[in-house]
Amino acid sequence: MVLEVLGTVAIFAAIAGRAWSLLYIGGRKNAELVTDGPYSISRNPLYLFSLVGIAGIGAQIGSVLAIVVLVFAAYLAFDMAIRGEEKYLRKRHENSFADYSGSTPRLWPDLSLWRESDNLPLRSASAMRSLRDGMVFLGAWAAVEMIKLAQSLGVLPILWTLPI
């Protein structure tokens, strides 16, 4: 039960964190190198918050093993995506990206680096995209709950139980 509550908190933290990150990068991603707000403490806050959400889904399953496996698999996929994005940014923004990547952690945030934006462009399309992206986590959560319900009603068989 505690694991599921932590999972719920993680899912909503992921949705909020991704929305916060998209407010800063929305509409600016290909035009400029965004280095303020959440991007001042981590070069990849969207991936970081996605990992938090994925951990939350694993917690909803009720297994530490599920959390570890899901987060590890997602990290491997995200790492490949990050490498491709870094290659693009290095080519597009050359010296600026070199300075940024040299001072800002790739994934795990360093809160001491926080810099606020003086000019945060708020675009409704970015906000709507952020909400839509967050629905993936709510949908996964709902799917896990539906599977658990179907299993408890005997409609869906339990094929195996994870050890932890």
Tens of pLDDT, residues 68-127: 999 999 999 999 999 999 999 999 998 899 999 999 999 999 999 999 877 766 666 666
Report, as an integer, the average pLDDT of 126-134.
72
Domain boundaries, the chain: 2-152
Look at residue 65 and tell me whether its pLDDT is greater than 90: yes
Return the half-sphere exposure (C-beta side, CA atoms, 13 A cut-off) of residue 132: 6
Q: Which residue has the tokens 């981590």?
A: 42
Q: From 86, 13, 9, select the one nearest 48 (Cα to Cα).
A: 13
What phi and psi, each to the nearest 5 degrees, are found at residue 89? -65, -40
DSSP 113-149: G----SS----HHHHHHHHHHHHHHHHHHHHHHHHHH
Query: Which is more confidently placed, 73 or 146?
Result: 73
Look at residue 29 and tell me whether its pLDDT is greater than 90: no
Say which CATH topology domain 2-152 has.
Answer: Four Helix Bundle (Hemerythrin (Met), subunit A) (1.20.120)
Percent of the chain with pLDDT over 90: 58
